[in-house]
Structure 1
Amino acid sequence: MSQGPLLDTNSPLSAEQARQLNEALKGLDARQLTWLSGYLAGLGAQGEAAVTSPVQPESAPAAAEIVVLYGSQTGNAEGVAELASDRAKARGFNVRLADMADIGKKDFKQPLDLMVVVSTQGDGDPPDTAEGFYELMHGRKAPKLDDKTRFSVLALGDSSYTYYCQTGKDFDARLEALGAQRIHERVDCDIDYEDAAEQWIESVLDRYAELNDTASRVGGGPASVADAAPPASYSKKHPFHAEVLDSIVLNGRGSDKETHHIELSLEDSGLTYEPGDAIGIVPQNDPAYVDELLDKLRLDAEADLGEGRRLRDALLTEFEVTTLTRPFLEHWSEVSDAAELRRLMDQESRDELRDWVEGRHIIDVIEHFPVKKIDAHTFTRALRKLPPRLYSIASSYQAAPDEVHLTVGIVRYEAHGRSRGGVATTYLADRVRPGDTVPIYVDRNKNFKLPHDDDTPVIMVGPGTGVAPYRAFLQEREERQAGGRNWLFFGDRRFRSDFLYQAELLQWRKKGLLTHLDVAFSRDQREKIYVQDRMREHAGELYAWLQEGAHFYVCGDGERMAADVHRALLDVVREAGGRDEESAAEYVRELQQAKRYQRDVY
Structure 2
Amino acid sequence: MTHSVAVVLIALAILLLIYAVMIAYLILINAKQKQEVTVNQNDYLIIFASQSGQAENLARQTALQLQEAGQTATVVDIQYLTVEQLLQANKVFWFVSTYGEGDAPDTARMAVKKLFRDSALDLSHQCYAILALGDNRYSNFCQFGQLLNQHLQQHQAQALFEMVCVDHLKQADINLWTQRLEQLTQQQLTAVEPAQNWHCFILKNRLCLNHGSQGNPIYQIQLSCAEGLTWSSGDILEVQCGNRLEDIQVFLQAQQQAVNENLLAALQFKNLRQFPEQLSNESFEDWVRRFDDLAIREYSIASIPQQGIIELVVRQEKTATGLGLGSGWLTEHAVPGQAIVAKIRANPAFHLKASHQPLILIGNGTGIAGLIAHLVQRQQWGDQQNWLIFGERQQQFDQLYKDQTQLWQNQGLLPYVDYAFSRDQAEKLYVQHILQQKSEQLLSWIEAGAAIYVCGSLKGMAQEVEQTLFNILGAEQLEQLRIEGRYQRDVY
TM-score range (shorter-chain normalised) is 0.7 to 0.9
Structure 1 gaps, min length 5 = 1-47, 49-61, 211-215, 227-233, 304-308, 323-327, 329-373, 574-583
CA-CA distance at 1:180 after TM superposition: 1.9
**What percentage of residue pairs aligned between the two structures are identical?**
29
CA distance in 1, matches of 2:110, 2:144: 13
Q: Which runs of 4+ in 1 moved over 6 A?
A: 289-292, 312-315
What secondary structure, in the 3-state scheme, does the structure 2 residue paired with 1:185 have?
Answer: coil
Whole-Å separation in 2 of the counterparts to 1:265 and 1:533 = 38
Shift of 1:195: 4.5
- Encode CA deviations 1:10-44: one digit per residue, 9 max, x unaligned: xxxxxxxxxxxxxxxxxxxxxxxxxxxxxxxxxxx
Following the alignment from structure 1 to structure 2, what is the Cα–Cα distance between the partners of residues 477 and 553?
Answer: 13
Change (3 A) 1:195 1:546: farther
Distance 1:160 1:252, change over 3 A: closer
What is the alpha-carbon distance in structure 1 between the residues aligned to residue 60 and residue 359 of structure 2? 29
Q: Give yes or no for the alignment of 1:460 onto 2:419.
A: no
| Map of 1:356 onto structure 2 | none
Task: Mark the CA change 1:200 to 1:256 in structure 2 (over 3 Å): closer, same or farther.
Answer: closer
Counterpart of 1:473 (choices 371, 374, 389) is 374
Distance 1:130 1:562 in 2: 17
For residue 529 of structure 1, report the CA deviation from its aligned partner.
0.7
Q: Per-residue displacement from partner, 1:321-380 (whole Å, max 9, x unpaired)?
A: 49xxxxx9xxxxxxxxxxxxxxxxxxxxxxxxxxxxxxxxxxxxxxxxxxxxx9668xx9
Residue 527 (1) aligns with residue 427 (2): yes
C-alpha separation between the residues in 1 aligned to 2:347 and 2:91? 28
559, 564, 567: which is aligned to 2:459?
Answer: 559
Residue 278 of structure 1 aligns to which amino acid in structure 2? Answer: I
Residues 1:422 and 1:106: Cα distance change in structure 2 (over 3 Å): same
SS at 2:446 equivalent: helix
Query: Are 2:362 and 2:455, in contact at CA under 8 Å, matched by a contact in 1?
Result: yes
Kindly state the Cα deviation for residue 588 of structure 1 after the two structures are TM-superposed: 2.5
Name the residue aligned to 1:277: 235
Unaligned runs of 5+ in 2: 1-32, 34-39, 280-287
CA distance in 1, matches of 2:467, 2:244: 39
Output aligned runs, 1:59-208, within 5 Å.
64-137=42-115, 139-140=117-118, 143-147=121-125, 149-201=126-178, 203-204=180-181, 207=184
Partner letter of residue 153 of structure 2? E
Selected match of 2:469 from 548, 569, 577: 569
Alignment of 1:40-439 (within 5 A): 64-137=42-115, 139-140=117-118, 143-147=121-125, 149-201=126-178, 203-204=180-181, 207=184, 224=193, 226=195, 235=197, 239-253=198-212, 256-268=215-227, 270-286=228-244, 300=255, 302=257, 317-319=269-271, 321=273, 385-397=293-305, 399-400=306-307, 402-412=308-318, 420-439=322-341
- For the 8 Å contact 1:136–1:142, the answer to whether it is kept is no
Counterpart CA distance in 2 for 1:315 and 1:405 is 27
C-alpha deviations, 1:258-300, integer Å up to 9, x for none?
Answer: 22111111125x42111111111111134666788x79xx963
* Alignment partners' CA distance in 2, 1:140 and 1:384: 46
Cα drift, residue 104 of structure 1: 3.2
When normalised by structure 2's length, the TM-score is 0.80
Task: Provide, for residues 158-201 of structure 1, a one-character-per-residue CA deviation record: whole Å limited to 9, x for no partner.
Answer: 22322222221222232132122322332111113344335524
Residue 473 of structure 1 aligns with an amino acid whose one-letter code is H
Task: Classify the secondary structure of the residue corresponding to 1:456.
Answer: coil
Cα deviations by residue, 1:40-65 (Å, 9 ceiling, x for unpaired): xxxxxxxx9xxxxxxxxxxxxx9833
Residues matched between the structures, number: 445
Q: Deviations over 1:445-500 (max 9, x none)?
A: 111110242x12221111111010111111111112236x2211111111121111
Q: Equivalents in 2 of 1:289, 1:434: separation in Å? A: 18
Output one character per residue of 1:110-134: Cα deviation in whole Å (capped at 9) or x when no partner: 2342110011222322122111123
Query: What is the SS of the residue equivalent to 1:508?
Result: helix
Question: Partner letter of residue 491 of structure 1?
Answer: G
Cα distance in 2 between the residues matched to 1:224 and 1:426: 28
Which residue identity does 2:310 align to in structure 1?
Answer: V
Map of 2:4 onto structure 1: none
For 1:462, what is the secondary structure of its paired residue? Answer: strand
Q: 1:375 to 1:446 in 2, by over 3 A?
A: same
The structure-2 alpha-carbon separation of the partners of 1:463 and 1:395, relative to structure 1 and needing over 3 Å to count, comes to: same
CA RMSD of aligned residues (A): 3.5
Secondary structure at 2:334 match in 1? coil
Does the Cα contact within 8 Å between 1:244 and 1:436 map onto a contact in 2? Answer: yes
Give the drift of 1:302: 4.9
Counterpart residue type for residue 597 of structure 1:
Y
What is the letter of the counterpart of residue 103 of structure 1? L
C-alpha displacement of 1:594: 3.5
SS of 1:197's equivalent in the other structure is helix
Residues 320, 385 of structure 1: 8 Å contact kept: no
Aligned equivalent of 1:537, options 437, 450, 455: 437
Letter aligned with residue 80 of structure 1:
L
Given that residues 108 and 143 in structure 1 are in contact (C-alpha distance below 8 angstroms), is that contact kept between their aligned partners in structure 2? Answer: no
Q: Which TM-score applies when normalising by structure 1?
A: 0.66
Supply the distance in 2 between the matched residues of 1:271 and 1:279 (Cα, whole angstroms): 12
For the residues of structure 2 that align with 1:486 and 1:431, how far apart are their CA atoms?
37
State the Cα distance separating 1:94 from its structure 2 match: 3.6
Alpha-carbon distance in structure 2 between the residues aligned to 1:109 and 1:198: 29
Q: Which amino acid is 1:404 matched to?
A: I
3-state SS of paired residue (2:241): coil
